[in-house]
Structure formats: C-alpha cells, structure tokens
Structure 1
Amino acid sequence: MKTVVAVVFDIDGVVRDVSGSYRRALADTVEHFTDGAFRPSSQEIDALKGEGVWNNDWEASQELIFRHFEAQGQAREQVTLAYSTIVQFFQSRYRGTDPVNWNGYICGEPLLLEAAYLESLTKAGIAWGFFSGATQGSARYVLEQRLELVEPVLIAMEDAPGKPDPTGLFLTLERLDCGECPVIYVGDTVADMYTISQARERDHARSWFAVGVLPPHVQETETRKNDYRKTLRQAGAHIVLDNVQDLKPEVVGELVGEV
C-alpha cells in the first residue's frame, strides 16, 4: 500500500508514562545536589519544560539546580558541579545500579500504546517512526523489549540535536522514505510542538501537523488537563488528545485531509 502520510512519535509521555521514572529521577537529582533543600514538584517541572528548551532531563536537572542556588544569592558560575556528575547520578536512579540488567525506575514504566495500534496504522498505509530525546538504550528498551517491535525507525539523543531543533525529525523521515508526504509529529511537550514549527520553516514542500498528547501526570484533575491542553495548543498543536491511540487512522485522515 502506498504511503500517504507519516506519523512520527515522541516516546516519553507518549509511548510510555515517565512520571514515575524520568521525572522522578529528575526530582531525585535536583534534591540530591541541593542537599535536600529543594525537590521540584510536578508542576515546577512542567513550568520549566513549558519554556520549550528543556527537553533533555539531564539539562533540566542542572538548570533547576542552578536556579535554586541563584534564588539563594549564589551565581551559577560559582556552583562547582560537573554536568557528568549530574548525568551519572540521574542514570543511577533511572537505569539503576546494574549496567547490564537494569534495575532502576525504567523497569516500572507503564506503556501508553500497544503494538496492535501501530499495526493498524501500517494497514492504513501510514508510515510511522520515532524521534525522541531519550538515549538509544532507553528508547530501544521500551520499543524492542517492551513493545517487541522489530528494528523500528528511531532517531534518539545520540543521533541529532535536542528538540525543538527539527534535524532529528528530518532524519526520521529520511529513514521512513515517504517522499514529500504530509507529516504528523506526536508529542507531549512545548518543545515537541515547536519542533513542527521549526520544521515547517525549513521545508515548505510538505504539510506539517503537530499533535499534542496529555501525559498521564497532568490528567489527575480537569483543571490541570485543561491548562496543559491550552499550553500545547498555544505552542502550535493542531489537536490535543488524552491518549496517543486516539490518533486513529480516521483521525489522521481528518487531520491531513487525504488518507
């Protein structure tokens, strides 16, 4: 079947729930390196990511640490803390203490989609792949071990600049080999929505669509859901869904107007 559209998925908050893993490791890291003085709440993490440039959780951890000390009157240049040390501590929480058989928070991440959903896209002639700020190891753990996908198209942290730079999205499309078909990028953050905006600025030959997904941690109350939905819409989302699997082939068709 001829490919008529490509759907590219972010992973964290879209394919898997990271509220008890990545976000928990981020909070642990900030708390550790502020000597227990500051543990960011879920809302404070959202506020940082709402700035649209903190897609990398290692960098987000560092930034929150810096901001804590700045609030105490200490310039960030005076904070003697190596970035590699932050990464090492973060990974000890997220991946765990065993580098071979991971035993960290990653092991308990709930999945937000099923492989059967992706099969339904394929049957409808919709190409799909993944562009994520997660590491190759973390991304392949969920895609290949948990979802049991075989050699999925994936561009991860090591392969391209961080979002909202759209380079990784373009690389994903090259691997999908779908010509100049319309593209939908599905993500849960402001940076994901900005990625489509920047891709559109670079490539006017195809149609670009941003689809927002509400991550599980914002769905505890209607107020928070509505606020987050509004944030994604303001950042450029064409539609915002409660779950990625709500982006059914017929919804894709309505969005691009030709499936």
Structure 2
Amino acid sequence: MTMNTIVVFDIDGVVRDVGGSYRRALADTVEHFTAKAYRPTSVDIDQLKSEGIWNNDWEASQELIYRYFETQGRSRQQLQLDYENIVAFFQSRYRGTDPDNFTGYICDEPLLLQPSYLEQLTLAGITWGFFSGATRASATYVLQRRLGLQSPVLIAMEDAPGKPDPTGLFATVRLLEDGLDKKSTVVYVGDTVADMYTVEKARSQQRDRTWIGVGVLPPHVQETAARRDAYAQTLQQAGAAIVLNNVEQLNPTTIQELTKR
C-alpha cells in the first residue's frame, strides 16, 4: 500500500509529554519574575495558548508576567522586562545549567510514541517528518537520543517563524517531497490551537493541495473528562478534522480514512 500522503508531527505534547518540563519551566519562570506572587496553573497556561499565538513558551512566560502585573495596576512600559533574562531563567530550568549537557526537566519527559509506530507508517508508504516550535537542540535530543531516529526531517524554532505562520510547515513538506513534482496530501498533527491555525493558514496560502489538521490531546488535559472534552472542542473549533487521545491512534487506516473525506 502506498499513499500520496505526508504526515508532519509537532513534538511537544505529541511526541513527548511536556507537562512536567516545558510547562513546569514556564510556571517556574512566571513565579520567579513575579517574586513568587503568582504561579500560573495548568489551566491558566491552556487559556493563554487557546488564543492561538503563544506557541513560544518564552514569549508565553513573558506575557503571563506582564498580565499579572497589569492586574496590579502596573503598565508594560513601567516594567521594562528583559526578555533575554526570562529566556535564560527558563532554559536554566528546562535544559539545566550545564552548557554542554542536558540536566534539567527535559531529561524526564515521557515519550508519547515509539519508533515502531513510525516504522508502521513507513511500511504503509506514508512519509513523515517534524515541524516544532522547540529549539533544534531540544527537538534533536528527543528524536535522536531518546527515539533513536537517524537524521529525521526536522524544522525547528531556529529554522522558521513561529506558528501559526505556516512557513515552517511548507519547508518541512518541501524536504519530505525532495523535489518530486507531486502534490501530496499533508496531515499536520499538533496539540494546540496554534497548530490548527497553522494548517488553516497553509490551506489559504496553498490551495492546490489538501491540508488536514489532526489534534492530539496532551496528557495534562486528560485528567478529567470535562477538561478533556473542553480541550477537544477547542481544537475542533480551531480546525482539527479529528481529535485523538494519543498520536499512535493516527495509524495508516485512520490516515487513509481522513484523506478520503
């Protein structure tokens, strides 16, 4: 079986569970820069990300710091936050403080898919790669060190503008098609509103191919049925054709059904 289909995966919340790493580092950062006056909850972070423009967790951290101080009657101009300091603190938690080795929260991220799943796609004639807002070092760590993938196609933070700008998705598809003159159907798998908006923007800019957004529920929203259902509805409203509990549910049969709709 060969399908003229490309599957592009986001990484955070799809390939790895970042509830105790990126999201924890974000909460740590906001708490630190508000002098421990405010630590955002998981729901607070999700509400911010549901706006669809806060895919970058460094920028999300800064925004939550600003919003806290605005509730205290202080303006952004008064604060003059140093973005580089925010990034450095965040990275000290997420990456760790050793410049040569990862020692931070990144070391404890549970994997949400196994290499055998990707092999299953390959055997079905489905081409796959990765487009993520994570740094290249962080993305490479999970793809090569943890999953053992050999030089996977990856467009990371340094390679393209942040989502929902679809430039990075287009670049990933170009690398996967490798100059072949065939307009593959593209399935983009993500866990946030920004991911789904990326697909919508790709569709509006390149109408000569089919673009399909697939939502995956990150583990942290699956703790209660109410929260899971609300998050799924948010992804569907943002354009997801289907919402899954785990990325491995997107098997070749499901992909074939999606592309036939």
- Is the TM value for this pair above 0.5? yes
Q: Deviations over 1:102-141 (max 9, x none)?
A: 1100000000000110010011010000000000000000
The structure 2 residue matched to 1:203, chosen from 195, 206, 211, is: 206
RMSD: 1.0
- Report the counterpart of residue 61 of structure 1 in structure 2: 61
The SS at the match of 1:240 is strand
Amino acid at match of 2:212: F
Amino acid at match of 1:50: S
How many residue pairs match? The answer is: 258
- CA drift of 1:2 comes to 5.2
Aligned-partner Cα distance in 1 for 2:92–2:67: 23
The structure 1 residue matched to 2:185, chosen from 141, 162, 182, is: 182
- CA drift of 1:80 comes to 2.8
- Report the counterpart of residue 118 of structure 1 in structure 2: 118
Q: Which moved more, 1:148-157 or 1:174-183?
A: 174-183
Aligned-partner Cα distance in 1 for 2:51–2:38: 20
TM-score (norm 2): 0.97
- Report the counterpart of residue 230 of structure 1 in structure 2: 233
Runs of 4+ in 1 over 4 A off after TM superposition: none
- Report the counterpart of residue 138 of structure 2 in structure 1: 138
The SS at the match of 1:14 is coil
Amino acid at match of 2:175: R
The SS at the match of 2:215 is strand
TM-score (norm 1): 0.98
The SS at the match of 1:210 is strand
- CA drift of 1:223 comes to 0.5
- CA drift of 1:257 comes to 1.6
- CA drift of 1:65 comes to 0.3
Aligned-partner Cα distance in 2 for 1:3–1:169: 19
The SS at the match of 1:6 is strand
Q: Deviations over 1:35-79 (max 9, x none)?
A: 000000000000000000000000000000000111100001111
Does 2:31 match 1:31?
yes
Q: How does 1:71-220 map to 2 (within 5 A)?
A: 71-177=71-177, 179-220=182-223
The SS at the match of 2:212 is strand
Instruction: Determine what percentage of the aligned residue pairs are the same residue.
Output: 66
- CA drift of 1:99 comes to 1.3
Aligned-partner Cα distance in 2 for 1:9–1:55: 15
The SS at the match of 1:230 is helix
Q: Which moved more, 1:245-254 or 1:173-182?
A: 173-182
- CA drift of 1:207 comes to 0.5
